[in-house]
Amino acid sequence: MVLRSKNLVRYVFQNQHKLIQQLLVQGGPVRACSGHGGTQQQAQLRVEEDDNFPKIAEVPPLAAPFPMTIEHGADVGEQFKYSDLSVRLAAPHQLNPKPDVDDLAFGKYFTDHMLKVPYHRRLGGWQKPEITPMENLNLHPAAKVFHYAIELFEGMKAYRGYDGKIRLFRPEMNMARMNVTAYRSGLPTFEGEDLIKAMARLIMIDSEWVPHTESASLYIRPTLIGIEPTLGVASSDSALLYTILSPVGPYFKPGAKGLKLYAEPKYTRAWPGGVGDRKVGSNYGPTIHVQQEALRNGCHQVLWLYGDDHQLTEVGVMNIFMLYMKENGERELLTPPLNGLILPGITRDSIIRLCHQWGEFSVREQKFTMPEIKKLSSEGRLLEMFGAGTAAVISPIEQISYMGEDIYVPTESHDNPVYRRLYNTLTDIQYGKLEHPWAYVID
């Protein structure tokens, strides 16, 4: 086989088994592991630069949605290490009864222990991490987190698989995003791998809180707050990194139909140059009023728009996707670009990568607007829309209430909708049914 493309060479080495299978399906004998073969056979296998072979999708390397490594500033000081972790177990009277799985609501119950890592610049930086019984925090009333929202958090989950093993899903992505947000917030950065190991230890201590069912999981909330007790608007010289755990059921009630969205152009979630692409609490508090307005109007979630052309950005606390039919009859999946207006979701990134690997339709990150949605709907070319995020995984969208009009989205009217295949693939990875490098097994 003659290969004249660097990308194709990379693809071959990464996907040899798929290529051989494809050749076998196309017919004709294939002699792998041999430099011999007839002239005719070699000619059939010759690949020129302008050939369309292989017919299964070539997947170009996709860039990470944010820097996966960060250089700690010199003023951050010492980093904490997992090897220094200490554990103080809860006494019997401090243990909480575990709720029935059917009674789980999002973020209502909490496990018996938590992880805490203090930071004090005057003491040299990060202090030793500690797992303690779940307890209240003792903070000064002037702590910066209370006055200037100097805080950030991540949302992760632990899943108990069919084999009894507990898995995380791409935790290194959460750590990288958390560090980028910490840098933007003037809070100290940290070594993500050490925090992952410390959280894994916390999860194993409270492992019986990980639901024994595939309809629930253990939500993980790592949080970093500025705790310096001064009222000046400045970075905090003291901080607290902590993690709490909460068993959760489905974000939306089982059996519920697709989401009905409230699209009101007068409200804006984020703007260029802001922190709409960072997971800080100040992005969420101001949305509560609008969410209540959406509920009063018979909708489940807010569809956040931006600009005079009413660009779609996010849905509730999720990224948004649209599958439509192009004028030439081909399908294409769109999601808004990472232009600072949306959170670079880990589920979003996973969906993009999976769809690139499937190669069944094109995938593009570009802006799209409500007028375009209306046009596609009127022409019968709007196929599916869905939200995606850690809490809800993937949620189908059924209707959009916009400018006095209800736009129907036929997401669930297909025999094998894309959103459902994505949901099944992601959850199969998370619960260990599908072996995949995205699953992080906790030993």
User: How does pLDDT run across 182-207, given as a tens digit for each residue?
Assistant: 999 999 999 999 999 999 999 999 99
Total length of the chain: 443
Residue where a domain stops, chosen among 250, 285, 318: 250
pTM of the shown model: 0.85
Same-domain pairing of 164 and 269: no
Same-domain pairing of 226 and 281: no
For the chain, what is the domain count?
2
230-248: average pLDDT: 97
Residue where a domain stops, chosen among 228, 250, 272: 250
286-313: average pLDDT: 97
Averaged confidence pLDDT in the chain: 88
Decide which of 438 and 58 is more confident: 438
Q: Provide the token pair at 78.
A: 């010492």
User: How does pLDDT run across 102-118, given as a tens digit for each residue?
Assistant: 888 888 999 999 999 99
User: How does pLDDT run across 403-425, given as a tens digit for each residue?
Assistant: 999 999 999 999 999 999 999 99
| DSSP bridge pairs for 382 | 324
Q: What is the 3-state secondary structure (H, E, C) of 112-125?
A: CEEEEEEEEHHHCE
Rg over CA atoms, the chain:
24
C-beta separation of 417 from 429 below 8 A: no
208-233: average pLDDT: 96
Same-domain pairing of 200 and 326: no
State the helix-helix crossing angle for 418-430 and 346-358, rounded to 10 degrees. 110
DSSP assignments along 168-191, one per residue: EESHHHHHHHHHHHHHHTT-----
List the single range of 58-67, 392-401, 407-416 with lowest mean pLDDT: 58-67
Tell me the residue range of the domain where 138 lies.
82-250
Residue at 295 is within a domain: yes
Give the pLDDT band (50/70/90) at residue 251. Answer: confident
Residue at 436 is within a domain: no
Q: Provide the token pair at 368.
A: 């799209």
Residue 54 has pLDDT above 90, yes or no: no
C-beta separation of 332 from 326 below 8 A: yes
Give the pLDDT band (50/70/90) at residue 257. Answer: confident
Same-domain pairing of 266 and 348: yes
Residue where a domain stops, chosen among 250, 285, 306: 250
Q: Tell the burial category of 28 from Cβ atoms under 10 Å away from its Cβ (0-12, 13-18, 19+).
A: exposed
DSSP assignments along 396-441, one per residue: EEEEEEETTEEEE--GGGSSS-HHHHHHHHHHHHHTTSS--TTEEE
C-alpha distances (whole Å) from 313 to each of 258, 283, 319 are 19, 13, 7
Residue at 145 is within a domain: yes
Residue at 313 is within a domain: yes
Same-domain pairing of 149 and 271: no
Give the pLDDT band (50/70/90) at residue 254. Answer: low
Q: Which 3 state secondary structure label does DSSP give 43? A: helix
CA 89 to mean position of chain CA atoms: 31
Percentage of the chain beyond pLDDT 70 is 85
C-alpha distances (whole Å) from 305 to each of 113, 206, 323, 371, 383 are 40, 41, 18, 12, 20
Task: Identify the CATH number of the domain in which residue 179 sits.
Answer: 3.30.470.10
Same-domain pairing of 224 and 281: no
Q: How many other CB atoms sit within 10 Å of the CB of residue 331?
A: 15
Task: Identify the CATH number of the domain in which residue 387 sits.
Answer: 3.20.10.10
Residue at 14 is within a domain: no
Residue at 134 is within a domain: yes
User: How does pLDDT run across 134-162, given as a tens digit for each residue?
Assistant: 999 999 999 999 999 999 999 999 999 99
Same-domain pairing of 336 and 408: yes
